[in-house]
Amino acid sequence: MYRDDVPASALEQFIPIVYEMEEENQQIVPCFTRDGVNYMHLKHSNLYLLAVSRRNTNAMEVLIFLNKLKEVLVEYFKSLEEESIRDNFVVIYELMDEMMDFGYPQATESKILQEYITQEYHALEIQQQAKSLAQVTNAVSWRSEGLKYSRNEVFLDVIESVNMLVNTSGSVVRSEILGKVQMKCYLSGMPELRLGLNDKVAIEGSGRSGQKEAIEMEDVRFHQCVRLARFESDRTISFIPPDGEFSLMSYRISTHIEKPLIWVEASMHNFGTRIEFSVKVMAQFKRRSTANNVEIIVPVPEDADTPKFKVPIGSASYAPEKSAFVWKIKKLAGGKDYSMSASLNLPTIRQDADAVQVQRPPISVIFEIPYFTVSGIKVRYLKTVEKSGYQAVPWVRYITQNGDYSLRTGSLAQPRRDEGFEDQ
């Protein structure tokens, strides 16, 4: 109760309203109004985090605050559930008292809150209370003052996840790149960082060369430390970073990918009581790059058993809980291709090969390619400005990994005569 303008009885109406929506098969929207009260909520596991207001509140701001509250509670208690709430009621009360004041969000960074609110001590000391008030009134509420490091370093990871659906002929049906920039900052004082990317809008606006290498980012989201006004005016990403590890930004690139990075083709032959697979994997990225920890997950009938494999590289294993076998390759170099075979028994005779074909979901691929990006995003510069004048050492790394990466399998061969299969 921050403003005492909403009666407690309004809270009691929330769950009946949700049940009513479920019974009427209505979509349970995150924001709705009943009897002059605005209900804004999000669900985490089997819990609802709910905020109520009588005013014309900024709903998005409230939902973001609830999400930050959830993140803080998870950071404190590792798992957020009914039992952890009951066991830590006093700590939660103190956290909510510091995170919001009279309905206005204040300090919402868990690293700052952990400096003066701990699980071991429920009562705050006077010095700690004074420090917390300084934090919430400071414009930089996500970073403490007085930090000192013997070596000032910045680690920046550009991580891109590739969502892709490939048809049986190897053509990309749907593709999307979801990227994020992760940072680890070990910097003294209160530094300002400026990050420049090969952003299409920034390069075109400045009239610089290199427009062919520019990329167009969509749905860009930033950490609260980024100065949005500066980014909107000249596309410069300027910020005072939190201490330690944090996610600076995320983005999406809808550029169509011409060919899959890792192409897998598989054929399956039905022998009635036995099925055989022939699987070929091809690395279609640059030869100087290498995909690490590749896993090719090939679906099989649910009742298949007694697997036998022939693999030229890596290892293969049967995963009955996934109704699939998994071919693992620790390192797959660009431009390379390999083929493997698998044989599995069926407890019942399958006369119709097409019946098996209908039930087969697409093949999934897990991988990670370091020092490589699909979009071509590049860090043009990363500058550190601090009043003491020290020079920070920046380390930049690029990583491409799978997102929802699926390949539809080819058509089944007709049933043929039984042939021997030797285990290797």
Domain locations in the chain?
9-137, 153-257+373-401, 262-370
331, pLDDT greater than 70: yes
Using CA atoms, how far residue 231 sits from 133, 149, 195, 236, in Å, is 30, 29, 10, 5
Q: Binning pLDDT at 50, 70 and 90, where does residue 182 land?
A: very high
Strand order in the sheet with 192-197: 237-239, 192-197, 379-385
The pair phi, psi for residue 375, each rounded to 5°, is: -75, -25
Lowest-pLDDT choice from 24-28, 209-213, 267-271, 317-321 = 209-213
pLDDT above 70 (res 120)? no
Q: What is the pLDDT of residue 417?
A: 44
Which range has the worst mean pLDDT, 42-51, 102-111, 164-173, 350-359?
350-359
For residues 411-422, give the mean pLDDT: 43
Q: Which DSSP symbol is given to 304?
A: -
The region of weakest confidence among 9-13, 127-131, 223-227 is 127-131
pLDDT of the residue at 126: 37
Q: Which residues contact 169 (CB under 8 A, 6 or more apart)?
A: none
Which among 402, 196, 410, 392 has a CA at the least distance from the CA of 294?
402
- Topology of the domain comprising 9-137: Beta-Lactamase (3.30.450)
CA atoms in the 13 A half-sphere facing the CB of 86: 4
236 Cβ contact partners less than 8 Å away, ≥ 6 residues apart: 194, 195, 196, 202, 230
pLDDT of residue 341: 94
The domain 262-370 having CATH identifier 2.60.40.1170: the answer here is yes
Q: At what angle do helices 89-99 and 59-77 cross, to 10 degrees?
A: 140
Q: How confident is the model at residue 26 (pLDDT cuts 50, 70, 90)?
A: confident
Residue 226 is given by DSSP the state B
What residue has token string 């909520």? 41
The 10s digit of each residue's pLDDT in 30-40 is: 898 888 889 99
Q: Please compute the mean of the pLDDT values over residues 97-124 and round it to a whole number.
A: 72
- At residue 27, the pLDDT reads 79
- pTM over the 0.85 mark: no
Question: Three-class SS of residue 307?
Answer: strand
- Local confidence band at 123 (pLDDT 50, 70, 90 cut-offs): very low
Report the range out of 84-88, 154-158, 319-323, 410-414 with the highest average pLDDT. 154-158
% of the chain surpassing 90 pLDDT = 41
411 pLDDT band, cuts 50/70/90, is very low
Of residues 156, 160, 115, the one with CA closest to residue 133:
115
Would the pLDDT of 419 be above 50? no
Highest-scoring range by mean pLDDT, 100-114, 145-159, 262-276, 338-352: 145-159
Buried b (16+ CB within 10 A) or exposed e, 105-136: bbbbbbbbbeebbeeeeeebeeeeeeebeebb
Q: Is the pLDDT of residue 190 over 70?
A: yes
CATH 2.60.40.1170, applies to 153-257+373-401: yes
Give the pair of three-digit tokens for residue 138.
Answer: 């400071």
Label residues 77-89 b or e (16+ Cβ within 10 Å = b): beebeeebeeebe
Determine whether 354 is exposed, middle or buried from the number of CB atoms within 10 Å of its CB (0-12, 13-18, 19+). Answer: exposed
3-state DSSP: the chain helix, strand, coil percent, rounded to 5? 20, 40, 40
Work out the average pLDDT over 176-188: 94
pLDDT at 4: 80
Confidence bin at 75 (pLDDT 50/70/90): confident
Mean pLDDT across the chain, nearest whole number?
83
pLDDT for 402 beyond 90: yes
Question: Which range has the worst mean pLDDT, 63-72, 104-113, 315-324?
Answer: 104-113
User: Amino acid identity, residue 147?
Assistant: L
CB contact set of 422 (below 8 Å; sequence gap of 6+) = 310
Task: Name the least confident of 7-11, 13-17, 182-186, 207-211.
Answer: 207-211
Check residue 7 and give its pLDDT: 85
Integer-rounded Cα Rg, in Å, for the chain is 27
Closest to 37 (Cα-Cα) out of 49, 25, 50: 50
Domains 9-137 and 262-370 share a fold: no
